[in-house]
Structures are given as C-alpha cells and as structure tokens.
Structure 1
C-alpha cells in the first residue's frame, strides 16, 4: 500500500512499509521509470525538480517538492523548491538571440561580457592555467547547449550529430549520461551539413528546441529523470542545412525530388511554403547567417540569400574565386556590408556578399577571423577587413592567431575575444588548420588586456576546438583531450 502525495507539479507515492518516496508523474515529462533510472542519481533529480533532500535524518532518500521537515522524524530538510538558478543560455555562440541587429547572427559571437572577468587575470606575458576540469563526453565530436529547459536549474547537453547521440552532464555526480531514445523513430543523426539548432525561447519543462535530423526538422524533448529523450516531427523530409530564424520566419534548405528547395515556415511550423533553388547543391552547407533582414547560407560553390517574403537567390562564386570557409566567416566593412575571404588562384581577396555584382578587395595575405575579429598572422586588423594589420610587437610576425569566439560589448571600441596563438609558425594558414601538428599553442583572451589563459603542446586540427559557457565558467573542448579546460567567470555566476 502506498500513500499518494500531490504537489503543484508532481505526484509522489510514499511506501508505507519503509517510508521511501517514489516519483510517479511530473509536469512535462512522460513515463517515469523511477526504479531503473532515478534512484542512482537522486541529488541531481532533486535539484532538477525542486524536491527536498535529507540533511540529518535517514528516513528517506528524497522528499516531494515543498517538504521542509521529514514527516516521519520531524527533522529539517534541504528544501530546493522555489530555488531557481538563472544563468545565460548557451546554444553555441551562433545561437545567441540577444545580439543587436547590426551584429551578424550565426557566427561565433556572444553577447556575454566575458572580458570583464577574464581580464582580471594577470596580463601577458604571464602564462595562466585552467582552473576547472570536466571529462569529455563519451562521444567527443559534439556541440554543446546549456540552458534550464524549463527546469529550476540549468544543465549541459552534448549532442554528437554524426552519430546521433545525446549526452547529459550530471554536475553533482560529475558524470556524463548517454540519453536513450524513448521510441525507435527518435533519430538525431545529421551529417549532411554544418550543425545548428533553434533554441526554445520560453521552453516547457523538458523542451530543448528545433533540431535538424536526417528524417526532417524535429522538436527535441529531454527527460533527465529517465535519462531519455523524444522528438516531435515538425517537417518530414530530406533536410539539407541547419535551420535559421529571421523576423519570426524559419528558413531551412531541403531536398525535394533531387533538387534543393528552401522551406519558409512560421515560428510555430503551422504553415509554410517551398521555394525552388535551381542550380544549388544539396549538401555541404554552412550554418545560416542572419544579417540585414536576410539569411545567408554559404557553400564551397556559392551563396544563397533569402529575405522572408521573397524567393531565395542562389549566386555561384565568381569564376576562378574559391572561398576560404575554414578561415572563419563573414566580416563587416565600416559601411555595414558583409564580406568573405577567398583566393582567385593568384592572391587572397575579400568578396562582397549578397550583391549581384559583388565588389572585390584584394589583400596581401590570409586573414583569419569573423565579425571584425580579424588577424593577419599574429597582428589584429582594426580598420577595414582589407586594411593593413596593426603591429604592436614585431616578434608576433612569427605567430599565427586563430579566433575562436568574439564577445560583443557596446562599451568597447575594438572587438575582443578568445583566440589560439600558434607560436613560431611560418607556414601557410591552410596547413595549420588542416592536419599539421603545432608544437606550441597558447589560449589567449584579446581585449583591453591580453591574457594568456593556458599553454598547449602539440595541437592538431585546431578548428575542432569548441568554446562554450556553462555554470559560470568559460570552457574549451577538443576531441583529442581527455578533459575540457575551464576558467571561472565570477561576475556571470
């Protein structure tokens, strides 16, 4: 016989023989398999649900939400109900919805004021060390999201798109859990183009957002109690790119009868229409970039621009000109136009995006970066993208800087962000970004003060470095590392 307790959000059963509580149902989560999953990680479940935990009594391992005292012995409990931890959501910097409209969306640019904390550390040439460590997820080639997902506390997810594996970080047990699909049709695999998701702005409990899969666009829901997830199909079919959002319209590339089309749908996916994109390729697209009321998809063969309410326009690159997509992403000139770097077989140049007759600006060497965070070799480019670099230290001529993340701040005249600096490197940029192993690399913050956060030996494939923000810290992940490096952001926690 079990006694039934009902709280505003959950239903619990109390075993009359031993006084233990078991969760039977809770808002937003489907079937609860309490014995199989939750009993092994009660502290995390209690924090997620806002339940209560014992402090000194041993009558039960967990208590329903709102319990302040043990009903058996009367001793006080740790009451978690009503405690809501708020932190900035992280969906990859490309998913930051709080950036102003004049900053391109979809690039590694965040609105978090990271420099205010990182620049309190000793400035270069002092070399710092990572203060925090987290084991890498079992499937290391992942993208990361940190949000509340409708729960009282934020949690970190790692999704491996190529394998379709969703992983959940339990911060109290310091363990990664691989989440199981609740039904055979809940497929998360997506490998045809660069990955990106659309976060839920006001999520219901367990709601993550809209994600692309091989079967179509789906809404992803998680059940951390059961360590499981399920999906809700929104648009079925062959998806060719990650979705983008512009003026409450969702744009996504899909393949219909072997040809590329653009899906134009409202934010709730209740209505939509398809536009044909003649001549455009059906895979290999970068994440969409939102700027000037348009979405841009870049490809090795050309660019596709779309303004909601209009038909998309596919423009192949000028003959002989090849984009360098691995160098970063589009950047802005002072008059607000977007440009991308490429090579015409003789020299590098910047090409104007979104124009029928694009302007071309030649440059004298490779520039790495995006969104005005640009570097030529080891020196920043501070004026136009094609301007000469600003040389502060001639010794940096022998280094190469790769920007990873820009922190947008209206109070700063020059962009700041997280970069990798390859020391004593005199080869071509393409070789450093491909398979070449770099003997010495430093992780640096470039801003009002330049801070060296850490030193790395023998780094290969630097483009696989993934920065993210979670639990009041800036983290950096690389699939080759056994642990992720973290630096505290006291002002964000």
Structure 2
C-alpha cells in the first residue's frame, strides 16, 4: 500500500512499509520513470523540483515539496521550495538577445560585463591559473546553454549537433548524463553550418527553446528527472542554416526541390511565408547575423540579405575576392556600416556588406576578430577596421591574437574580451587556424587591465574553443581537453 501526497505541482507516493517517497507526476514533465532514473540523483531532483531533503534523519532520501519535518520521526528537513537562484542565462554569445541594436547580433558578443570581475586578478605578465574545472562532456564537440528552463535553478546543457546527443550536467553529483529521446526517431542532429538556437523567453517547465535540426525546426523540452527530451515540430524541411530573429520574425534557410528558400515566420510559427532564392547555393552557409533591421547570411560565394517583409537579396562577392570566414566575422566602421575581411589574390581588404555598390578598403595584413574587437598580429586595431594597429608593447610583434568572445559594456571606451595569444608565431593566420599545432598559447583577457588567465601547451584547431558562462563562472572548453577550465565571476551571482 502507498499513501498519496498531492502538492501544488506534484503527486508523490509514500511506501507505507519503507517510508520512501516516489514521484508519480509533476507539472510539465509528463510520465515519470522514478525507479529507473531519479533514485540515483535525489539531491539534483530535489533542487529542480523545490522538494525537501533530509538534514539529520535517514527515513527517506527525498520528501515532497513543502515538507518541513520528517513524518516518521519529526526531524527538521531542508526545504528547497522558493530558493530560486538568479544566474544569468547563457545561450551562446551568438544568441544574446540583450545586446543593444547598434551591436551586431549572431557574433561571439555577450552583454555580460565579464571584465568587471576578471580584472581583479594580477595583471600581465603574471600568469594566473584556472580556478575551476569540470569534466569534459562525453561527446566533446559541443555547444553549451545554461538556463532555468522553468525550474527554480539553472542547469547546463551540452549539445553535440553532429551526433545529435544532448548532455545534462548534474552539478551536485559532478556528472554528465546523456539524455534520451522519449519518442523513437526524435533526432537532434544538425550538420548545416554554425549552430544557433532561439531561447524561450518565459519558459514553461522543461521548455528549452527552438532548435534547428537537419529535418526542420522544433521546440525542445527536457525532463531532467527521466534524463530525457522530446521535440515539438514547428517546421519540416531540409535546413541550410540556423534560424535568426529580427523584429520578432524568424528567418531560416531551407532547401526544397534543389532550390534555396527563406522561411519568414512569426515566433509562434502560426503564420509564415517563404521566399525563393534560386541563384543562391543550397549549402555551406554561416550562422545569420542581425544588424540594421536585417539578417545577413554569409557564404564563400556571396551574401544573402533579408529585411522582414521584403524579398531576400542574393549578391555574389566581387570577382576575385574571397571572404575569410574563419577570421572571426563582420565588424563595424565608425559610421555604423558593416564590413567583412577577405583576399583578392594579392592582398587583404575589407568589403562593405549589404550595399549595392560595396566600398572596398585595402589593408596591409590579416586582422582577426569581429564587432570592433580586432587584432593585427599581437596588437589591437582601435579606430577603423582598416586603421593601423595600436602598438603598446613591441615585444608582441611575434605573437598572433585570436579573439574568442567580446564582452560589450557601454561604460568602456574600448572593446574587452577573451582571446588566445599564440606566442613566437610567425606564420600566416590561415595556418594557425587550420591544422597547425601551436607550441605555446596563453588564454588572456583584454580590457582595462590585460591579464593572462592560463596557458596551454600544443594547441591545435583553436577555432574549436568554446567559451560559456555558467554558475557564476567563465568557462573555456576545447574538445582535446579532458577538463573544462573555469574562472569565477562572483559579481554576476
């Protein structure tokens, strides 16, 4: 026999023989397989549901929400209901919707003021070390999000798009769990370029957001108790890119009958129209960039520009000019125009984006970066994208800086952010970003104070580095590392 306990959000059963509680149902999560999954991770489940945990007795491993005392012995319990932790969500810097409109969206730029805390460490040339570590996810080529998904506490998810594997971090047990699909055939695979998801702004319990799949767009729901997920189909089609949002309109490229199309839909996907782009390629697209009320999709052959409510426009690059898409992304001139770096076979130059007759500005060497966070070799470029670099330390001439993340902050006159510095590197930038192994690399913060956060020996494929913010810390992941490195950001908590 079992006694049934009903709380405002859940139904529990108490075994009259053992006194143990089992969750039968809870709002928003569907069927619960308590014995198979949750019994081994009761502390994490209790924190997610706002249930109670034993403080001194051992009559049960978990108690329903609102219980203050053990019904068997009367010992006080640790009540977790109402203990909401406020941490900033992280959807990848490219999905930061809190950036102001004059900053390009879709680039590695975050609205979190990370430098205010990081710059309290000893400045360069002192070498700091990572203070935190977590094991790398089992499927290491990942993108990360951290959010509440309608629960009281934030949790970290790591999605491996190429394999379609969703991984859940249990911070109390310090373990990764691979989440399984609730329905057969619910695939999370996405192999059409850079990954980007659309977060749920006011999520229901278990709601993550809209995710791109090889087969279309779906709303993702998770059940952390069962370690499972489900998909709610919103649009079926062979996607050619991740979706982007402009003025609450979703734009996404897909292929039908061998022709590229652009889906123009509202955020609720109740209404939608499609535009044909017959001259544009059907694969190889970058993640969209939002700026000046338009979405930009970049491709090795040209650019597709779309303003909601208007027909998209495909424009090939000028003859002989090739974009350097691995160098970072578009940047801005002082008059607000958007530019991208490329090479015409003789020299590098910046090309104006979204213009009928684009202006070209020649430069004397490669520049790595995005959104006004640019470097030529080891020195920042502080004025126009094509201006000469600002040399503060001539000793950095033999280094190469690769920006990873810009932290946008209105109270700073110059951009701040996370970078990799390749030391004693004299080769071409293209070689460093491809297969070449760099003997010594430092992880640095560039801002009001420049500091070295850590150093790495023999780094390869630096573009695989993924920074993210979770649990009051800045983290950096690389698929070759066994652990994810972290630096505390107490000011964000």
Indicate the TM-score class for this superposition, using the shorter chain for normalisation.
over 0.9
Summarize deviations over 1:181-230 as a string: whole Å, max 9, x none.
00113110010221111111100000011011111100000000000000
The answer to whether 1:426 aligns with 2:416 is: no
Residue in 1 aligned with 2:54?
Answer: 54
Gaps (5+ residues) in structure 1?
Answer: none
Runs of 4+ deviating beyond 6 Å: none
| 8 A contact 1:278–1:314 mirrored in 2 | no
Instruction: Name the residue aligned to 2:286.
Output: 286
Q: CA RMSD in A?
A: 0.5
Inter-partner Cα distance in structure 1 for 2:283 and 2:328: 20
CA distance in structure 2 between the aligned counterparts of 1:257 and 1:82, rounded to whole angstroms: 52
User: Equivalent residue for 2:153?
Assistant: 153
Residues 192 and 242 of structure 2 are in contact (CA less than 8 Å); yes or no, is this contact kept in structure 1?
no
The CA distance in 2 between the partners of 1:15 and 1:337, in whole Å, is 67
Please name the residue that 1:459 is paired with.
459
Q: Does 1:132 align with 2:100?
A: no
**CA distance in 2 between partners of 1:39 and 1:435 (Å):** 45
Report the counterpart of residue 352 of structure 2 in structure 1: 352
Query: What is the total number of aligned residue pairs between the two structures?
Result: 493
- Report what 2:2 is aligned to: 2
Aligned equivalents of 1:14, 1:336: Cα separation in 2: 64
* Contact 1:255 1:261 survives alignment (8 Å): yes
| SS of residue paired to 1:178 | strand
Inter-partner Cα distance in structure 1 for 2:277 and 2:89: 34
Stretches of structure 2 that go unaligned for 5 or more consecutive residues are: none
- Equivalence map 1:31-430=2 (5 Å): 31-430=31-430
TM-score (norm 1): 1.00
- For residue 20 of structure 1, report the CA deviation from its aligned partner: 0.6
CA contact (8 A) 2:168 2:177 kept: yes
TM superposition score normalised by structure 2: 1.00
Note if contact 2:340-2:351 (Cα within 8 Å) is conserved in structure 1.
yes
Take 1:155 and 1:70, find their aligned partners in 2: how far apart are those partners? Answer: 28
Cα deviation, residue 9, structure 1: 0.7
SS of the equivalent of 2:492 reads coil
1:284 CA displacement: 1.3
CA contact (8 A) 1:264 1:274 kept: yes
- CA deviation profile, 1:453-477 (whole Å, cap 9, x unmatched): 0011000000000000000000000
Give the Cα separation in 1 of the matches to 2:199 and 2:22: 32
- In the TM superposition, residue 279 of structure 1 has moved relative to its aligned partner by 1.1
Q: Decide whether the 8 Å contact of 1:376 with 1:389 is kept in 2.
A: yes
Between the aligned partners of 1:282 and 1:132, the Cα distance in structure 2 is 43
CA distance in 1, matches of 2:490, 2:224: 28
Cα deviation for residue 95 of structure 1 reads: 0.7
